Amino acid sequence: MNLAPFNAVLPVIAAFVIFIFGYVALFISLMICFFVCLLIAKGIYEGAKKARTYAVRSAPAKTFISPDVDTSDHRKTPLLIPATSR
pLDDT tens digits along 14-31: 999 999 999 999 999 999
Residues ≥6 apart with Cβ < 8 Å to 71: 65
pLDDT given at position 72: 60
% of the chain residues with pLDDT over 70:
63
Residue 71 CA to residue 74 CA, distance in Å, equals: 6
pLDDT given at position 59: 64
